[in-house]
């Protein structure tokens, strides 16, 4: 193997080289911008994350997420293969390309374009086992990428075959990048095949070379094909920052920052910027967003919200206000972008000044007797369905547990709805007051029947020494410890995971375990982390009644898939949303259990 | 005169010269559902904050139409946006966002 051209240069490398220089500078500036926007404590976290153990985890995550795409494999194997074949194959082409340069033309190490156009610049003098090994690997990687590209083109016409019903609409930048990406690898194959009788090749390039020789014998055709290959690469690199493919380089930074323990604190800058640029606009969140049961609401899904943020458009607040905050898009996102948090931050930033006045809070005082160990807080929503707490009290009495009902005469809200609306200060007022009331009671367990309350009590209240527990978990513990016993009925149930309890607080198994004590638990077509919001979510501010109705119906359809006798939920809000539209009874988990109690 | 305990009720006449409809027009554009209200009072009856303040959305809508902006807004300043009124509204009005929009539109009165 030796160099064919003395200077190791030909003008055709220019489009690629310029593109590469452009993108490297762009990424450098971007990284510096992001790091400058972080505050000091966050930068310290980054420094700490470079210790071996954490670094090892980051490298593992980068390989699994950026090269192998494990998360997409879980979504759909074919879709996963498409992504990982392109990503991994391309990486191998670059990686082995560099090794080839280091071994055969060490004087060119570090020349930007050399590994990419290696086969143009070298000629094979004699065949060696090592040489044919590398050539074989290169051809194999190229074949891998080509199969991925083939699938990608197929997906454009029939995305359903790869498990995606809808995908995002492309913009001009996306289109240029997409079509040049499609062109890069077939052109590379053609270019390397043309030169295969000079530079050598392997099973793919040599065979095509023989085939080509039957048609084209003039070696002058070699150069135009290499030019085309370089131009396709250059176009792709120049279009990259203005397209969805920017996620290829930026996801690495995102993983590093995330593993350092950084979270977004602004909706557009700092960590959020790395999230926004890492969004590949794959559109997986479109199919999963509950709002998209209506076609006209597709524009409010997370992927378009992030695109609006990226372009710094003011409309992004309208999308943020529409969102149900059910967190499903975050669960299914293959990149792991916390778009719900971005929406919340956007709401907080836009909240600005409006007239609120919570002075009346100071007049509220704890008026009950000193509480027993268990303090029950119903919250606003449970007060709309008193059957829930009445059933719960029946269970507590059966278990001979003394309890105090904190808000029997009504009380102030937990603060989560106010927080979701973007009014952080107002929410803090409510949290402060509620904390005072709970501390004054002297309880050691705070029992809640509303997942919305549960989430905020758990995350924001910081009640030291007080156990915050949701009633589905609490009753399950009572059954497990033998304090209450249940008779089994012949009913079958389906359990609806409330957003704030399931995805919000990671409680999936306890309610099902509890239900299985009193009947048969059937599966819904979408459940656990993929459960569909009931449509009543307080997360959405501007979603209309009619839109919510459609979501409720879609969610019920998924729940009734296996024809259960009853729909069981553990959230008073879900109960209220389902009841009017459900052909089967909708019941809270506490009501089911209280009916099956065996009184000793 | 002998005081029998009765008197004329104060005038509820609205002075159109002082009534600036501008903000009500803006509000109606943001919240077209405003005109759907049938003043049934379900929102006021279910309100969590009503235990502690004079909050009453039915009255607020009425007062806004009468041009008594300041009086209206001071009634709902204490709203905790818990969303109960939205759930009970028989007309399907998004009362939660209506309150948010009122507080934003009438922030200076």
Q: For residues A341 and A364, state if they share a domain.
A: no
Q: What confidence score (pLDDT) does residue A600 get?
A: 60
Q: Report the range of poorest mean pLDDT among A136-140, A368-372, A394-398, B102-106.
A: A368-372
Is residue A13 included in any domain, yes or no? no
| Predicted structure pTM score | 0.91
| Domain final position from A438, A457, A476 | A476
Q: Does B104 touch chain A (CB under 8 A)?
A: yes
Q: What confidence score (pLDDT) does residue B95 get?
A: 93
- CB-based contact B97 A541, cutoff 8 Å: yes
A548 to chain B: nearest residue by CA? B92
Q: For residues A104 and A198, state if they share a domain.
A: yes
Q: For residues A288 and A374, state if they share a domain.
A: no
Q: For residues A409 and A543, state if they share a domain.
A: no
Quote the tokens at residue A581.
Answer: 């539209």
- How many CB atoms lie under 10 A from the CB of residue A400? 9
Q: Is A530's pLDDT higher than 60?
A: yes
Which one of A354, A544, A573 has the shortest CB-CB distance to B107?
Answer: A354
Question: Tell me: the pLDDT tens digits for A341-359?
Answer: 999 999 998 887 677 888 8
Question: Tell me: the pLDDT tens digits for A216-273?
Answer: 777 788 889 999 999 999 999 999 999 999 999 999 999 999 999 899 988 888 899 9
For the domain that residue A411 is a member of, what is the CATH number?
3.40.50
Question: Tell me: the pLDDT tens digits for B23-80?
Answer: 899 999 999 988 899 999 999 999 988 888 889 999 999 998 888 888 888 888 889 9
Give the integer Cα–Cα distance in Å for A117 and A192: 9
Residues in chain B: 109
Q: Does A7 touch chain B (CB under 8 A)?
A: no
**Which residues in chain B touch residue A363, judged by CB atoms under 8 angstroms apart?**
52
Q: Does A418 touch chain B (CB under 8 A)?
A: yes
Q: For residues A433 and A497, state if they share a domain.
A: no
Percent residues over pLDDT 90 in chain A: 61
Per domain, the residue ranges of chain B are 22-105
Q: Is B13's pLDDT higher than 90?
A: no
- How many CB atoms lie under 10 A from the CB of residue A203? 13
Q: For residues A501 and A525, state if they share a domain.
A: yes
* ipTM, interface predicted TM-score of the complex: 0.86
Which one of B52, B77, B87 has the shortest CB-CB distance to A576?
Answer: B87
CA distance B75 to chain A (A): 10
Q: Taking residues A282-286, report their average pLDDT.
A: 90
| Banded model confidence at residue A371, pLDDT cuts 50, 70, 90 | low
Number of CB pairs < 8 Å for A and B?
92
Which one of B33, B82, B103 has the shortest CB-CB distance to A380?
Answer: B82
Is residue A250 included in any domain, yes or no? no
Is residue A43 included in any domain, yes or no? no
Q: Are A310 and A244 in contact (CB under 8 A)?
A: no
Full domain range(s) for residue A343: 272-350
Q: Does B66 touch chain A (CB under 8 A)?
A: no
Q: For residues A338 and A364, state if they share a domain.
A: no
Give the integer Cα–Cα distance in Å for B4 and A217: 120
Is residue A2 included in any domain, yes or no? no
- HSE-CB at A432 with a 13 A cutoff on CA atoms is 10
| Domain final position from A294, A319, A350 | A350
Per the structure, how many domains does chain A have?
4
Mean pLDDT score of chain A, rounded to an integer?
Answer: 90
Q: For residues A81 and A219, state if they share a domain.
A: yes
Q: Does B90 touch chain A (CB under 8 A)?
A: no
- CB-based contact A355 B107, cutoff 8 Å: yes
Can you tell me whether residue A123 is helix, strand or coil?
strand
What is the C-alpha radius of gyration for chain A, rounded to an integer number of angstroms?
30
Is residue A100 included in any domain, yes or no? yes
Q: Is A50's pLDDT higher than 90?
A: no
Give residue A446's region: left, alpha or beta (phi > 0; psi -120 to 50): beta
Q: Are A467 and A375 in contact (CB under 8 A)?
A: no
CA distance A460 to chain B (A): 17
Q: How many helices (H) and strands (E) does chain B have?
A: 6, 0
Q: Taking residues A434-455, report their average pLDDT.
A: 91
Is residue A502 included in any domain, yes or no? yes
Is residue A346 included in any domain, yes or no? yes
| Domain final position from A302, A323, A350 | A350
Q: Are A438 and A366 in contact (CB under 8 A)?
A: no
| Contact partners, residue A59, CB within 8 Å, separation at least 6 | none
B100 to chain A: nearest residue by CA? A354
DSSP string, A328-387: HHHHH-SS---HHHHHHHHHHHHH-------GGGGG----SPSP-SEEEE-HHHHHH-HH
Q: For residues A85 and A194, state if they share a domain.
A: yes
Q: What confidence score (pLDDT) does residue A144 get?
A: 95
Q: Does A430 touch chain B (CB under 8 A)?
A: yes
Q: For residues A444 and A308, state if they share a domain.
A: no
Q: Are A323 and A305 in contact (CB under 8 A)?
A: yes
Q: For residues A183 and A324, state if they share a domain.
A: no
Q: For residues A185 and A278, state if they share a domain.
A: no
- CB-based contact A355 B100, cutoff 8 Å: no
Q: Is A366's pLDDT higher than 90?
A: no
| Banded model confidence at residue A373, pLDDT cuts 50, 70, 90 | confident
Quote the tokens at residue B2.
Answer: 């002998």
Q: Does B97 touch chain A (CB under 8 A)?
A: yes
Give the integer Cα–Cα distance in Å for A418 and A373: 29
Q: Taking residues A31-47, report their average pLDDT.
A: 91
């Amino acid at each position: 193997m030796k160099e064919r051209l003395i200077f190791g240069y030909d003008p055709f490398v220019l489009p690629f080289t310029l593109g590469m220089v452009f993108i490297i500078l762009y990424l450098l500036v971007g990284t510096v911008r992001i790091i400058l926007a972080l505050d000091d404590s966050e930068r310290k976290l980054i420094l700490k994350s470079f210790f071996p153990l954490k670094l090892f985890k980051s490298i593992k995550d980068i390989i699994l997420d950026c090269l192998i795409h494990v998360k997409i494999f879980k979504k759909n194997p074919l879709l996963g293969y498409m992504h990982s074949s392109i990503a991994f194959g391309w990486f191998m082409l670059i990686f082995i390309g560099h090794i080839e340069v280091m071994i055969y033309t060490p004087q060119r190490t570090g020349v930007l374009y050399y590994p990419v156009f290696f086969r143009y610049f070298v000629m094979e003098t004699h065949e060696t086992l090592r040489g044919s090994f590398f050539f074989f690997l290169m051809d194999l990687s190229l074949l891998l990428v080509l199969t991925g590209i083939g699938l990608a083109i197929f997906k454009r016409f029939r995305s359903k075959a790869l498990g995606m019903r809808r995908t995002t609409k492309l913009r001009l930048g996306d289109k240029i990048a997409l079509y040049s990406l499609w062109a890069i690898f077939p052109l590379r194959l053609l270019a390397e095949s043309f030169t295969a009788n000079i530079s050598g090749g392997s099973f793919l390039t040599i065979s095509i070379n023989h085939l080509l020789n039957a048609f084209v014998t003039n070696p002058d055709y070699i150069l135009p094909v290499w030019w085309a290959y370089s131009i396709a690469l250059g176009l792709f690199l120049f279009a990259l920052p203005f397209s969805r493919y920017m996620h290829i380089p930026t996801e690495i930074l995102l993983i590093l920052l995330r593993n350092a323990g950084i979270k977004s604190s602004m909706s557009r800058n700092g960590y959020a910027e790395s999230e926004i640029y890492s969004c590949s606009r794959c559109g997986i969140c479109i199919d999963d967003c509950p709002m998209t049961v209506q076609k006209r609401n597709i524009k409010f899904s997370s992927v378009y919200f992030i695109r609006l943020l990226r372009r710094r458009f003011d409309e992004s607040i309208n999308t943020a206000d529409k969102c149900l905050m059910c967190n499903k898009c975050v669960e299914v996102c293959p990149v792991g972008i916390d778009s719900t948090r971005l929406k919340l931050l956007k709401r907080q930033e836009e909240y600005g000044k409006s007239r609120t006045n919570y002075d009346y809070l100071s007049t509220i005082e704890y008026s009950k007797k000193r509480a027993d160990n268990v303090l029950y807080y119903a919250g606003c929503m449970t007060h709309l369905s008193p059957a829930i707490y009445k059933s719960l009290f029946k269970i507590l009495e059966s278990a001979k547990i003394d309890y105090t009902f904190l808000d029997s005469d009504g009380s102030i809200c937990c603060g989560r709805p106010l927080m979701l609306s973007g009014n952080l200060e107002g929410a803090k007022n409510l949290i402060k007051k509620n904390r005072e009331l709970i501390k004054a009671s002297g309880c050691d367990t705070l029992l809640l029947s509303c997942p919305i309350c549960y989430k905020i009590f758990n995350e924001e209240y910081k009640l030291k020494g007080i156990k915050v527990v949701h009633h589905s978990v609490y009753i399950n513990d009572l059954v497990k410890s033998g304090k209450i016993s249940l008779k089994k009925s012949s009913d079958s149930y389906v359990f609806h995971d409330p957003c704030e309890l399931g995805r919000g607080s990671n409680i999936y198994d306890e309610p099902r375990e509890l239900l299985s004590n009193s009947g048969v638990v059937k599966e819904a077509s979408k459940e656990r982390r993929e459960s569909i919001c009931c449509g009543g979510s307080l997360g959405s501010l501007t979603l209309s009644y009619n839109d919510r109705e459609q979501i409720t119906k879609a969610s019920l359809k998924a729940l009734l898939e296996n024809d259960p006798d009853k729909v069981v939920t553990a959230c008073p809000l879900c109960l209220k949303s389902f009841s009017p539209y459900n052909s089967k009874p909708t019941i809270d988990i506490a009501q089911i259990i209280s009916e099956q109690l065996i009184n000793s | 005169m002998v005081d029998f305990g009765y008197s004329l009720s104060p005038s509820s006449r609205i002075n159109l010269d002082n009534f600036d409809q501008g903000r009500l027009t803006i509000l109606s554009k943001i919240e077209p559902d405003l005109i759907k209200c049938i003043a049934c009072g379900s929102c006021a009856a279910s309100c969590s904050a009503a235990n502690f303040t004079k909050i009453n959305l039915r009255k607020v809508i009425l007062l806004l139409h009468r041009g008594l902006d300041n009086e209206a807004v001071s009634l709902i300043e204490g709203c905790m946006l818990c969303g109960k009124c939205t759930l009970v509204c028989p007309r399907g009005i998004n009362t939660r966002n209506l309150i948010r929009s009122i507080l934003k539109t009438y922030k200076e009165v």
